[in-house]
Chain A
């Protein structure tokens, strides 16, 4: 007695798992996580950033009242992080 397996759906290899819309959402999520991690003082490995040099720390404290390493002064760099390309299968973040 044999076993018969019937498939009533298209080949799984051909199933679209992503779309441009989904990849865009992934890009937005990645951007938000990068932003929140960086402004929280953590690098890409989840470790605290290396402290600023004493002279820079003093200058930043004098101008902005803060000394924490968060890669922000004007805000322009992190605000410029954006999705620069999105396809059905990939998303690329970069700077405008």
Chain B
């Protein structure tokens, strides 16, 4: 298999994994919204501010449970297991000489981190839902208006969480650059990606600059390595783009 063919296969598998995750996530949101509707309607039945306050406090822990019961945590587990395993198997079976470079323990560590990232996003979503619910209950917002606001929260979370998952998948496809580039310490790479307010310090220092493979291997992003695969770490939007020997240094 040529590197280009492997790249195409990895890209196909990555797309399938992302699409499957997006579909499953939609089902989770629909289930969560259904459960949330029941919860909100019963919480709004309290006639006095005190009762509403007590119900709101109880709701806080129930919101995270809603997500869990709707299948979010289970999805985070399954989406970071088999699909990512398939990608790494495809890679390693094609290039067994990469075993040390992209060792299975490193890939497993990355999988675990991505799983935690997804679960953290679930926690963040339940906190955002709580903000809306608490304000809605005390202000006696109409139930349907409150549910509409919660639906908007789910929409925002959907885009963010899907992007997070896509990032996890893209780390595996980054291997392809390395496959074709080879292992020469003199191969040069350009650190490419956005440079804006969301760019972390490590990436700001290096974006737009070229380094040899040896120089990259000596870098430390302070999160997870190797830097040639993970860039700046979690949710990094940057990649190491091989540059031509004919390019100006």
A residues near B (Cβ < 8 Å) are 24-26, 28-29, 31-32, 35, 39, 63-66, 70, 72-76, 78-79, 82-86, 96
Contact = CB atoms under 8 A, between A and B. Distances in A.
Given A75-B238, A85-B4, A64 B243 contact: no
A28 B170 contact: no
B241 A96 contact: no
A36 to B, nearest CB: 8
Interface of B: 4, 7-8, 10-11, 163, 166, 170, 173, 176-177, 180, 190, 192-194, 196-198, 208, 237-239, 241-247
Given A28-B247, A29-B246, A96 B196 contact: no
A29 B247 CA distance: 6
Report, nearest first, the 6 A-B pairs whose CB atoms are least far apart: A65-B197, A28-B244, A75-B237, A75-B193, A64-B196, A29-B244
A28 B196 contact: no
A25 B244 CA distance: 5
Contacts of B166: 76
A64 B4 contact: no
Contacts, number: 76
Contact of B7 (A26, A39, A70, A84): A84
Contacts of B192: 35, 39, 75, 78-79
A96 B163 contact: no
B237 A64 contact: no
A85 B6 CA distance: 11
Nearest to A40: B208
B237 A32 contact: no
B13 to A, nearest CB: 11
A66 B197 contact: yes
A82 to B, nearest CB: 7
A26 B247 CA distance: 10
Contacts of A75: 192-194, 237-239
A28 B193 contact: no
26 contacts: A24-B180, A25-B245, A26-B244, A28-B242, A28-B247, A29-B243, A29-B246, A32-B190, A35-B192, A35-B241, A39-B192, A39-B208, A64-B198, A65-B196, A70-B194, A72-B193, A72-B196, A75-B193, A75-B194, A75-B239, A79-B192, A82-B176, A83-B180, A84-B7, A84-B8, A96-B173
Contacts of A84: 4, 7-8
B7 A96 contact: yes
Given A28-B244, A64-B197, A72-B194, A86 B239 contact: no
A91 B105 CA distance: 36
